Structure 1
Amino acid sequence: MKLFSNTFSSLEKAMDYSTLKQKVISQNIANVDTPQYKKKDVSFKSVLDEAMGTRLEANKTSIRHLDFKENGESGYGTVIRQNVNYNHNGNGVDLDKEMSDLATNQIYYNALTERLSGKFNSLQTVIRGGK
């Protein structure tokens, strides 16, 4: 018998994703003036594959169909965006976009923490017998 639903583990994985995204965005912002630095991003698909414990495979009915893999994929679900240059020195970081992504990720993380807190409060209520 399973005592808890998968909600706690799903929220934990989502928080891990958000934390990784925060680190990658912070690295991008820190290197905004570094020549030839290429923007990094978090591949949601690889994080999803890890959370599900399986790798998504495409059912190809034609050789013209594309595979489900990304070019430039590296460890920990991060992807380096090679073909983007925003500055004259070859830097691929758009500071305004990174700040926007940072704010979006912070809102997402806060929503996750509130949901996790609500789950623990519900569990506490059940343990106390509804009091």
Structure 2
Amino acid sequence: MIGKLDEALRFHETALSLRAQRQQLLASNIANADTPNYKARDVDFNAALGQALARAPGTAGPAQLARTQASHIPAGSATATSGGADVQYRTGQQNNIDGNSVDMDVERNQFADNALRYEASVTLIGAQIKNLLAAIQG
């Protein structure tokens, strides 16, 4: 019984975790809008969610990679992954003169969209839990 409940909520747990990580990346982009040579970063949410759900239940985090040389970047590095999601550089329409690729209009829209979808997921989870409690209590 507990396994079925866990499986039913696993999708939403994974989606909320990825949304939170994406929100951090978008906030970082906004915070670095005036930093010379900063490149805007983001994750492909659909691909990251698919990868996270494809992992076997009970496995936490990305697979560990072997570092054969000290100069290799660790797998947990913020530049390589964000909680298992591949971080990509956003290609902008036009870079600033200082090499910064942050477009504040795009970043604000993505930030608001991601926040709205996060809140919708939280509301949906709350409704599912309320339905489960109603079924249990009779």
Please state which band the TM-score falls in when normalised by the shorter chain: 0.7 to 0.9
Counting aligned pairs with the same residue, the percent is 28
Residues 38, 84 of structure 1: 8 Å contact kept? no
Residues 37, 100 of structure 2: 8 Å contact kept? yes
Q: Distance in 1 between the 2:103 and 2:118 partners? A: 22
Equivalent residues in 2 for 1:1-131 (5 A)? 2-4=3-5, 6-44=7-45, 45-53=47-55, 74-76=80-82, 77=85, 78-81=87-90, 85-129=94-138
| Post-superposition offset of 1:14 | 0.5
SS at match of 1:6: helix
* Bigger RCO (CA 8 Å, 6+ sep): 2
Residues 37, 91 of structure 1: 8 Å contact kept? yes
* TM-score, with length taken from structure 1: 0.75
Q: Distance in 2 between the 1:43 and 1:33 partners? A: 24
Runs (4+) of structure 1 moved beyond 2 Å?
80-86
**Residue-by-residue CA offset, 1:2-53 (whole Å, 9 max, x unaligned):** 4426330100001011101100000000000000000100133234212211
Corresponding residue pairs, total: 111
**Residue-by-residue CA offset, 1:73-128 (whole Å, 9 max, x unaligned):** 82122112367653110001000100000110111011100100001101110121
Aligned residue type for 1:122: N
- Give unpaired runs (5+ residues) of structure 2: 57-78
Aligned residue type for 1:53: R
Aligned residue type for 2:114: N
Q: Distance in 1 between the 2:114 and 2:128 partners? A: 21
Please say which of residues 33-42 and 119-128 is displaced more in the overlay.
119-128
| RMSD (CA atoms) | 2.1
Greater Rg over alpha carbons, structure: 1
